[in-house]
Amino acid sequence: MAKAPGRAASVLKNSVAIAGVRVMTIKIDNASIDVTDKDSLGIVEVLSTAATRQISLSVEGIYKEPVLRDIAFDPTASQLLTDLTFKFADGLTTKDTIAGNFFMTSYEEGNPYEDAVTFSASFTSSGAWTLA
């Protein structure tokens, strides 16, 4: 695996970097389908196809723009963002971005007494995503 600075990764909404992001994490979850039966002799067997697949993204950083805050606190706004892209830091392959629809599951802001305003947000995929 090639070394790369984490700051080279980015999360974009509508092809524009979400302002102030410092930390980004991405996680993929695959749920297996258990087909264990009495002939398995007590050893778990699973199908090669996943029951469900999901990507989770988390971002945190310095608050600069109200984009995510506006979405989070507007009682009429959809939390489903149809234009999020995650760009990997290493950029070593031609497939270095994941794009798709993501539901904002949480938003948090910190207002420390003598420091910068911070934020964090979490997103869960909705539907298929693309790897390009």
Minimum mean pLDDT among 52-56, 59-63, 124-128: which range? Answer: 59-63
Q: Does 1 fall in a domain? A: no
The 3-state DSSP class for residue 52 equals strand
Distance CA 81, CA 93 (A): 26
Give pLDDT tens digits for 59-113: 998 988 888 999 999 999 999 999 899 888 876 666 788 999 999 999 999 999 9
Q: How far is it, in rounded angstroms, from Cα 31 to Cα 8?
A: 30
- With respect to residue 77, please indicate whether it lies within any of the assigned structural domains: yes
Is 17 among the domain residues? yes
- Joined together, the tokens standing for residue 17 give 């970097």
CATH number assigned to the domain comprising residue 69: 2.30.110
Tell whether 51 is covered by a domain.
yes
Residue 65 lies in a domain: yes
What is residue 91's predicted lDDT score, i.e. its pLDDT?
Answer: 64
Let me know if residue 114 belongs to a domain. yes
Q: Is residue 15 part of a domain?
A: yes
The domain in which residue 45 lies consists of: 6-131
Q: What is the pTM of this model?
A: 0.84
Is residue 71 a part of any domain in this protein?
yes
pLDDT at 79: 96
Give the Cα separation of 100 and 97 in Å (integer). Answer: 10
**pLDDT classification of 1: cutoffs 50, 70, 90:** low
User: Is 59 in contact with 117 (CB distance < 8 Å)?
Assistant: no
Reply yes or no on whether the pLDDT at 55 is more than 70.
yes
Residues in Cβ contact with 18 at an 8 Å cutoff, skipping those fewer than 6 apart: 11, 12, 59, 65, 67, 68
Task: Provide the number of structural domains found in the chain.
Answer: 1
